[in-house]
Amino acid sequence: MRAEVPIESVEASAYRIPTEEPESDGTLLWDATVLVVAEVRAGGTTGWGYTYADPAVAELIRGKLAEVLRGRDALATEAAWHAMGSALRNLGGPGLSAMAISALDVALWDVKAKLLDLPMARLLGPMRESIDAYGSGGFTSYSVARLQRQLAGWVSQGMTRVKMKVGRDPDADPDRVAAARAAIGEAALFVDANGAYATEQAVGMAHRFAESRVVWFEEPVPHWDRTGTREVRKRIPAGMDVAGGEYGYRPEEFFNWILSRSLSFLQADATRCGGITGFLKAAALCEAAHLPLSSHCAPSLHVALGCAARPMRHLEWFHDHALIEERLFDGFARPRAGGLSPDLARPGLGYEFKRADARAFAV
């Protein structure tokens, strides 16, 4: 058994990357995305992780969490995960605290894999060689023509599932969804309301969307409304999944979603739910409950996890994050035949942060 490898240093930085143009979904408008990068050095090796959050997360990593981790065994990822959670108790577990822990947990797994000279997929123990990806974008700020081009483009690249945003203009949503269906042929069509609808409204919209053969309705009502979500699930057309979970920050939240029977498809985001450690816990809960799992955003991070987690069905190829990762991650991979495979020739995550290229976006 390898001796302990003390953590020598912990660093963090933040980068604000503008979007191609102002974008929106059912409940939010934005014109940039903030990438927070965490780095952990141990045994002469540096591991890195990331989250999409606020620059305040970098300060939390450099300060309180760095104090928690320095001197700890870099190989003991589970112990570090719990220590970080305990240290942030009085700051609140969800939100920025969980995102900071997530980025550091990924960095710890990366440095562990590098110290053991293993690609992440091998360290986690794969059960499949690749994971399907679905194209995700279709922002409410897009014209119908651009919406159709984007979704049809993913289908032409081999993706069999695509997702669009709804909820900003409910009166226009059925026609936009119908236009999307016309553009993608027989590919599976997902919609994401980002919690924009009220319960009765969501039920009615589900029946309208069924006319365009929508098979996935994500966050039809606000994510914290499990009662409303359960009501939507009970009353929507057969064959349409109700999905959610992207705002799960702790295993207990996924457990409560499962107990509520409000979702037929659970989502987890390793940049929010506690990193690789937290994602594996969510996957274990899904497996025990016989509930399918999909990852949310951050496509590069979820490739190895998607190959290791048994209940995982696909990962989200989110437009904004894919553009950022292609630009700033050395080793970034695009889907081939609609799926992604981990790089088994490189230890760790399989890709590295291109700091020089990111410098212009530093905050």
DSSP letters, 247-291, are T--SHHHHHHHHHHT--SEEEE-TTTTTHHHHHHHHHHHHHHHT-
CATH class in words for 7-117+355-361: alpha beta
Tell me the per-residue pLDDT of 305-330, one tens digit each, with 9 for 90 and over.
999 999 999 999 999 999 999 999 99
Q: Are 324 and 91 in contact (CB under 8 A)?
A: no
Tell me the per-residue pLDDT of 34-91, one tens digit each, with 9 for 90 and over.
999 999 999 999 999 999 999 999 999 999 999 999 999 999 999 999 999 999 999 9
Average pLDDT, the chain: 97
Q: Are 224 and 211 in contact (CB under 8 A)?
A: no
Rounded CA-CA distance 149/180 in Å is 9
**How is domain 122-353 classified at the architecture level of CATH?**
Alpha-Beta Barrel (3.20)
Contacts of 86 (CB under 8 A, 6+ apart): none
pLDDT class of 143 with cuts at 50, 70, 90: very high
Please give the model's pTM, rounded to 2 decimal places: 0.97
Q: Where are the domains of the chain?
A: 7-117+355-361, 122-353
Tell me the per-residue pLDDT of 9-50, one tens digit each, with 9 for 90 and over.
999 999 999 999 999 999 999 999 999 999 999 999 999 999
